[in-house]
Structure 1
Amino acid sequence: MLKNIDPLLNADVLQALRAMGHGDELVLCDANFPADSVARQTVLGKVLRIDGVGTREAARAILSVMALDTAVEVAAHRMEVVGEPDNVLPVQQEVQLEINHAEGRERIMGSIERFAFYDVARTAYCVIATGERRFYGCFVFKKGVIAPEA
């Protein structure tokens, strides 16, 4: 165990988060997402796991150590509900709350059509799979920077 590090962040996830650079993207996905096959095409080349929790808890843990990109208007995206792109499901609302809390302000979350989401995911730095069983618990986060101390 490490002090002040969420215990959900296992060694593999921490290593990937630390290795990512400004502008790199990670995919946080639910249990139904084709995580293994998509992850093989990412920069990291393998799926990472935060098992036993949903995307809300995993997002909270990740965002406790990773800043979102402020150089872009939208640094987080959700997978759109097929045929209902404006429908924001409860699991997506929950992750929005975690983003706002971690960032200390409201941040716009964009949306990506399902098949376009898979294309984006294949170019991400890594895929982190969770135990989330609710549909559309899939997100892309773009890593930001931590400002130097004055």
Structure 2
Amino acid sequence: MLKSIDPLLNADVLYALRAMGHGDDVVLCDTNFPADSVARQTVLGRLLRIDNVTAARAARAVLSVMPLDAFVETPVLRMEIVGRPDEIPDVQREVQAEIDAAEGRSWPMGSIERFAFYERARKAYAVIATGERRFYGCFIFKKGVIAPD
């Protein structure tokens, strides 16, 4: 265990988040997402896991150490519901609340169509599978910067 580090952030996840650079993407996905096959095509090339937690809890852990990219309008994207792109299910509302809490302000997510999400996920730095069992618990987070002191 490490002080001041969320215990959900295992060594592999911490390594990937630290290795990512400004503008790199990390995917948080639910249990139905084709995580392993998509992760094999990412920069890291293997699947990372934060098991047995919701997408919101995994987002809280990631956002406790990773800044979001303030140079883009929507540094977090959510997977759209097929046929109902404007509908926002509870799982996505919960992740939005974690984003707002981490950033100290409202910063709405963008959305991306399901198959476009898969394509973008394949180009990400890494994929982190969570224990989220609700549908559409899939998100892409773009890493930002930490300003100098």
TM-score under structure 1 length normalisation: 0.99
- 1:4 is aligned to 4
In the alignment, the residues of structure 2 paired with residue 66 and residue 81 of structure 1 have an alpha-carbon distance, to the nearest angstrom, of: 27
Q: What amino acid sits opposite 2:116 in the alignment? A: A
Question: Contact conserved, 1:80 with 1:111, CA < 8 A, in 2?
Answer: yes
- 2:105 is aligned to 105
- 2:88 is aligned to 88
- 1:138 is aligned to 138
* Aligned positions, number: 149
Give 1:108 shift: 1.9
Q: Where do 4+ consecutive residues of structure 1 move more than 2 Å?
A: none
**Structural mapping, 1:1-150, within 5 Å:** 1-149=1-149
Give 1:64 shift: 0.3
Q: What amino acid sits opposite 1:9 in the alignment? A: L
Give 1:47 shift: 0.4
Cα deviation code 1:15-58 (max 9, x no counterpart): 00000000000000000000000000000000000001111100
Question: Contact conserved, 1:40 with 1:46, CA < 8 A, in 2?
Answer: yes
In the alignment, the residues of structure 2 paired with residue 102 and residue 114 of structure 1 have an alpha-carbon distance, to the nearest angstrom, of: 26
Percent identity, aligned pairs only, is 74
In the alignment, the residues of structure 2 paired with residue 134 and residue 52 of structure 1 have an alpha-carbon distance, to the nearest angstrom, of: 13
Q: Which runs of 5+ in 1 are unaligned?
A: none
Question: Contact conserved, 1:73 with 1:108, CA < 8 A, in 2?
Answer: no
Q: Which runs of 5+ in 2 are unaligned?
A: none
In the alignment, the residues of structure 2 paired with residue 73 and residue 138 of structure 1 have an alpha-carbon distance, to the nearest angstrom, of: 19
